[in-house]
Structure 1
């Protein structure tokens, strides 16, 4: 059993639940880029010039827009809905950031990009057209807004002079958006759209795959974080055990290791260090009763820094490890 072919790209798009070139409203004729543009000139039952009708609820579209929490792209000739599916360029020329009802119309606030302002200033596009998902003839969610040249909605001041069928121009626009030659036939457009539809991924599958990817990414980030923390801890504890640093400087080196570059630097520094404190052989013995207390590590580090500064001033700079050794010997002989 064969499936009957659809008569036009508009019908094929609507079969997939997406409506293009539905209602088109005029932009200012002075070439300015308005802050608010009209998506639907009226709320309720809207009929286009080609006879299609849709039920438009401002509350429904505003609720879906707020629930999505994303800005809507403003593109050229519905490139977001057609060319992007084939891997073509679908750059935005502006972003819709807010919806409102105004004088019985549904409008969107636009943050225009430089290219969008330039196109409007040159008056290359005089109309805007929303694309939206529909169910049973009712608009349920906005998808994008396009700058177009072909009006679909009659009864607007800027459209009063436009008579006759718009189908030839519409076919030309759709062919261009699909990446085909302007003179492509209806059959060629239908074939391309059918291939796109057949190769598309269902939204539920896409969302599930994306959720799984995000979960795996989170797990990988946790593993990487734990491995990095273990690497820093092992490095610092190893340096303390080898007496390359004193406990008073532990936090200082931990801070240095907070970046990848700092961690690499500290690893190289420790690798070239000699023990700052000579081994005493008493590490595992209980301290003797009475006698002098060992040097305060903070004071010892300060003394080493002073020795290092004096050596540098005398024109014979030394490393901090050597300075610690000298400071330790000086403290032992005092």
Structure 2
């Protein structure tokens, strides 16, 4: 589920934003996909909006290639990347959190992307990894409600009630109204003949299909997927470590101050977040060929710009940063 329909078309939120409204779910789905070129990205925890503007990573974990407007909201068909498929297999996230634009009145105008999350802001979102079709218990509950039966009615009582529905010429319209929502609930295509016999056959067939689902086959597929995911993660981890070692050792060779003593620490951090580590190490000073500390250039106004290492050194020496800058400037002048 990408976007819930909400109560009476009003989508409420957990925080103070919203509420939001959608005039036409089918039009919103079609226009949003068309504007994106047929592919809307899914990232993790809104990295595109929170991490990317600061230079952080925001890889897509999947691409939404089809949007469908349904009775309960908009659903998306997703092509998962290898890391995204692994996250889904591990049940690492429970929900999808959409990103969309609205007008001043809160009317949703376009769906832009979505994020994997465990704390969705929109109320009424369906959890990931759940079956989109009704489970047997859900189906029975829907049928009881549609047929006006009590909640305690058994499956045999539900089927018996359906069998009693007759369709003589003077009751065709009434029977059609009763049977149409039942037909949709069991997955009959729109426009299909909805007599008591055809709907009963669909209900019986659906129940039989579920009873013959092979748990052995499903378990085998799950085991195979887990094995492939494990091997993929191993390869990705080895590649990440090779890149981390190459970068950190390269900075040590350049004379980057403080990196050699924390080599293993920086390698481990680089595997988890390369951009952050490279930014931190890039801010450290280097030693020149003579062993002297390479200080940064002035800002163009004759004042030396101190980096974090210089400010820390001044604090340890117990002198003001401005005085330390004057000392460095004098040494550079000599």
TM-score (norm 1): 0.33
Of Structure 1 and Structure 2, which has the larger fraction of its residues in helix?
2
The structure with the larger Rg is 1
Larger relative contact order (CA 8 Å, sep ≥ 6): 1
